[in-house]
Chain A
């Protein structure tokens, strides 16, 4: 009995110790593993931090060199460097675990700086004069680069000296900050990045000829200018007419969006179709003029096979546009998916294609109905344009097209430029070996404004 007891106790003790050892080694193993991943992550964060700092140092120097460049040949390589380095800094900054509220200002600055340099580079190439306000911009961007760089150096010092940075803690703090009603006093590194963001608090609007210029983000829609405001009730009638009175059961106005800096004020509606219980069509009307801006029919028409052919879908799209008074629209591209096709329509005026006046229609391949409508492009830019009378003849424009390609067709078009302006161009549809391209030559200046590769496959016809 006694002997048995001892044995039992011994078994018990040894079992516990075996378990303990197993648990401890498991814990140690887990800890080591966790530490390994933590180190890997921190290494990658620190890599990003050093990159941003390094790029900013260079950018500051390059910007001051531009100011002393004597001619295009001297300034172009500098602009190219700034373009590249600012873009790289932008990318690396996005890899740091700071919340949007902290990095947004710096991100915007870097995107604009990169974009601005590209614009200046292209202007220089085309021998266009750099204006006084652009030179002013350059000075201002340089000043900001210097203070950005200074703050980054403080961060680097914190990261490289002493215990370094506890990125995991920083990350957790940021996550907690999003949920907290009061801002949690940040650890030192977070504080320093806030310092950087402070720098950009009063960063003024930057106006230049590029896509990220502040004026592009604030462009006013053309069609709604000077139009009367509609009431919510008037909107309901417009929706009913737009969707077809026989299809609609009820319409509710859900929201009113004031329209921030870069959008148009809209009224939002939801629609219950006949024979349905819940709303499944949603659309916005412009508050001024009451134009339908977009519509989506989210009704789930589950079916395995598409019953509608491409031609039937196209017919359905054409009929819809005619019925709603969009005349002379031509579809230019389309894109197929399993259950729908999206057509891109552009407006025609005297045989000239107006690419900015874009309407997208989504047609169901199950039942042929228009299940999506988007006229934001059209509303933002449609107007009876006064086109220039004296343009170069197409033969002259063709001289600006590479001789290595076969020109298949030529078409007069107006295209939107990335800086918000428009350009009257010849569109050359060309073939090089088996690849197809659309080349846009400005009909006034001969400048190549854009080039797309035309991609034709099972998914449709797209310009990329």
Chain B
């Protein structure tokens, strides 16, 4: 019995020592030289996006501006390029699509990737390159174009806009443009209301909040108009005056709905707040 206890104690000690050893040894494990796995997709911006746009344009896949913004037109032309070249058509420019485009990136260890300045190519005349000089932007001195960070990046705001666009597309792509902005505005109004989750993804994925999530229409690729409508709503346009609910009066008839204050009716949707 005593031996057994000793045994278990010994076991514990050994386990502890082993755990300690593992803990100590962790920092000494050399950091793997990870390649900065870069992908360019919806919401990406920067020099590489410009290069992608230039190539796609030269080969006739893209007809928009070379502005360094991975927007809807770039997205569509990437899909077009991928389909035409036997690549997986997902609208994401990863290693394979980059190679197919003839864009080769030097592998850099993650650690230094952030500090390495992107190669500065000749400035393309676009609205972004024409960032206002301090003269027009006073008193906050907006830095001159040369000061603008030329590195690639990913806009988190664009990710939010895409999410809203998917809800609008699933819920009201058959409505007028105003009706689409209105659904986006309801999402934004909910974010600001204490009675709902206070993030965009929280509002969208609240259990049972949107039929489009339940019936799978949320997963469709949104139409361009839905993306534009999502952007207007995100930027604060609210055609429904603070509404946090909407329904189709032909299918929703619950008693509770009738207690709400209707703000507007747009197309097939009634908008309301509590």
B3 to chain A: closest CB distance in Å? Answer: 42
How far is B140's CA from A429's CA once the two chains are assembled, in angstroms?
7
Give every chain B residue within 8 A of A311 (Cβ-Cβ). 130, 132, 136
Q: Taking each of B63, B67, B214, which has the highest tally of chain A beta carbons within 10 Å of its own beta carbon?
A: B67
Residue contact A458 to B128, C-beta cutoff 8 Å: yes
How far is B251's CA from A180's CA once the two chains are assembled, in angstroms?
9
Give every chain B residue within 8 A of A152 (Cβ-Cβ). none
How far is B136's CA from A313's CA once the two chains are assembled, in angstroms?
13
How far is B208's CA from A177's CA once the two chains are assembled, in angstroms?
12
- Encoded as 1 (CB less than 8 Å from any B CB) or 0, chain A from 238 to 276 comes to 000000000000000001011110110010100000000
- Encoded as 1 (CB less than 8 Å from any B CB) or 0, chain A from 292 to 303 comes to 001010101000
- Residue on B nearest A358 in the bound complex, by CB: B236
Is A100 part of the binding interface, using a Cβ–Cβ cutoff of 8 Å? Answer: yes
Residue contact A266 to B130, C-beta cutoff 8 Å: no
Is B109 part of the binding interface, using a Cβ–Cβ cutoff of 8 Å? Answer: no
Q: A111-B194, A309-B127 are in contact. Are A434 and B139 (CB under 8 A)?
A: no
A215 to chain B: closest CB distance in Å? Answer: 13
Is B143 part of the binding interface, using a Cβ–Cβ cutoff of 8 Å? Answer: yes
Give every chain B residue within 8 A of A104 (Cβ-Cβ). 195-196, 274
A-binding segment of B85-93, B96-104, B254-262: B254-262
Give every chain B residue within 8 A of A133 (Cβ-Cβ). none
Residue contact A257 to B241, C-beta cutoff 8 Å: yes
Residue contact A458 to B49, C-beta cutoff 8 Å: yes
- Encoded as 1 (CB less than 8 Å from any A CB) or 0, chain B from 135 to 163 comes to 01111111100001100010101100000
Of B149, B194, B207, B252, which contacts A107 at CB under 8 A?
Answer: B194
Residue contact A408 to B242, C-beta cutoff 8 Å: no
Give every chain A residue within 8 A of B130 (Cβ-Cβ). 309-311
Q: A260-B263, A434-B149 are in contact. Are A336 and B67 (CB under 8 A)?
A: yes
- Residue on A nearest B196 in the bound complex, by CB: A107
How far is B189's CA from A336's CA once the two chains are assembled, in angstroms?
23
Residue contact A306 to B65, C-beta cutoff 8 Å: yes
Give every chain B residue within 8 A of A111 (Cβ-Cβ). 194-195, 198
Is A440 part of the binding interface, using a Cβ–Cβ cutoff of 8 Å? Answer: no
Is B68 part of the binding interface, using a Cβ–Cβ cutoff of 8 Å? Answer: yes
Give every chain B residue within 8 A of A342 (Cβ-Cβ). 235
How far is B198's CA from A310's CA once the two chains are assembled, in angstroms?
34
How far is B191's CA from A318's CA once the two chains are assembled, in angstroms?
32
B130 to chain A: closest CB distance in Å? Answer: 4
Give every chain A residue within 8 A of B218 (Cβ-Cβ). none
- Residue on A nearest B63 in the bound complex, by CB: A304
Give every chain B residue within 8 A of A341 (Cβ-Cβ). 127
A200 to chain B: closest CB distance in Å? Answer: 10
Residue contact A458 to B241, C-beta cutoff 8 Å: no
Q: Taking each of A97, A180, A212, A298, which has the highest tally of chain B beta carbons within 10 Å of its own beta carbon?
A: A298
How far is B198's CA from A90's CA once the two chains are assembled, in angstroms?
9
Is B181 part of the binding interface, using a Cβ–Cβ cutoff of 8 Å? Answer: yes
Give every chain B residue within 8 A of A427 (Cβ-Cβ). 140
Give every chain A residue within 8 A of B155 (Cβ-Cβ). 457, 459
Is B268 part of the binding interface, using a Cβ–Cβ cutoff of 8 Å? Answer: no
Is B64 part of the binding interface, using a Cβ–Cβ cutoff of 8 Å? Answer: yes
How far is B252's CA from A462's CA once the two chains are assembled, in angstroms?
40
Residue contact B153 to A457, C-beta cutoff 8 Å: yes
How far is B207's CA from A372's CA once the two chains are assembled, in angstroms?
34
Residue contact B261 to A107, C-beta cutoff 8 Å: no
Residue contact B253 to A409, C-beta cutoff 8 Å: no
Interface residues of A in 283-339 (CB under 8 A from B): 284, 294, 296, 298, 300, 304-306, 308-311, 313-314, 330-332, 335-339
- Encoded as 1 (CB less than 8 Å from any A CB) or 0, chain B from 198 to 240 comes to 1000100011110000100000000001001001100111110
Residue contact B232 to A296, C-beta cutoff 8 Å: yes
Is B269 part of the binding interface, using a Cβ–Cβ cutoff of 8 Å? Answer: no
Give every chain B residue within 8 A of A331 (Cβ-Cβ). 137
Dominant secondary structure of chain B at its interface with chain A: loop
Interface residues of A in 330-383 (CB under 8 A from B): 330-332, 335-339, 341-342, 353, 360, 362, 365, 372, 374, 376
Is A81 part of the binding interface, using a Cβ–Cβ cutoff of 8 Å? Answer: no
Interface residues of B in 103-132 (CB under 8 A from A): 126-128, 130-132
Is B45 part of the binding interface, using a Cβ–Cβ cutoff of 8 Å? Answer: yes
How far is B245's CA from A99's CA once the two chains are assembled, in angstroms?
12
Is A451 part of the binding interface, using a Cβ–Cβ cutoff of 8 Å? Answer: no
How far is B214's CA from A308's CA once the two chains are assembled, in angstroms?
42
Is A456 part of the binding interface, using a Cβ–Cβ cutoff of 8 Å? Answer: yes
How far is B64's CA from A429's CA once the two chains are assembled, in angstroms?
35
Give every chain B residue within 8 A of A115 (Cβ-Cβ). 194
Of A91, A308, A360, which contacts B202 at CB under 8 A?
Answer: A91
- Residue on A nearest B231 in the bound complex, by CB: A337
Give every chain B residue within 8 A of A308 (Cβ-Cβ). 127
How far is B197's CA from A220's CA once the two chains are assembled, in angstroms?
25
How far is B138's CA from A332's CA once the two chains are assembled, in angstroms?
8
- Residue on B nearest A174 in the bound complex, by CB: B208
Of A99, A107, A294, A365, which contacts B208 at CB under 8 A?
Answer: A99
Give every chain A residue within 8 A of B202 (Cβ-Cβ). 91, 94
- Residue on A nearest B142 in the bound complex, by CB: A461
How far is B147's CA from A274's CA once the two chains are assembled, in angstroms?
45
How far is B254's CA from A105's CA once the two chains are assembled, in angstroms?
18
Is A171 part of the binding interface, using a Cβ–Cβ cutoff of 8 Å? Answer: yes
Residue contact B69 to A456, C-beta cutoff 8 Å: no
Is A178 part of the binding interface, using a Cβ–Cβ cutoff of 8 Å? Answer: yes
Residue contact B261 to A258, C-beta cutoff 8 Å: yes
Is B36 part of the binding interface, using a Cβ–Cβ cutoff of 8 Å? Answer: no
Of B69, B239, B252, B254, which contacts A296 at CB under 8 A?
Answer: B239
Is B264 part of the binding interface, using a Cβ–Cβ cutoff of 8 Å? Answer: yes
Residue contact A101 to B256, C-beta cutoff 8 Å: yes
How far is B255's CA from A436's CA once the two chains are assembled, in angstroms?
52
Is B51 part of the binding interface, using a Cβ–Cβ cutoff of 8 Å? Answer: no
Question: What are 16 A-B contacts with C-beta separation under 8 Å?
Answer: A97-B207, A99-B208, A107-B196, A108-B195, A111-B198, A171-B208, A183-B255, A217-B194, A260-B261, A260-B263, A263-B263, A296-B178, A305-B64, A306-B65, A332-B140, A427-B140
Q: Which 8 A-B pairs have the closest CB atoms?
A: A111-B194, A458-B45, A310-B127, A298-B177, A458-B68, A338-B71, A212-B194, A304-B63
Contacts A376-B238, A458-B68 given; 15 further ones with Cβ under 8 A? A104-B274, A174-B208, A181-B253, A212-B194, A259-B241, A298-B178, A304-B63, A306-B127, A309-B130, A336-B67, A341-B127, A362-B235, A457-B46, A458-B46, A459-B45
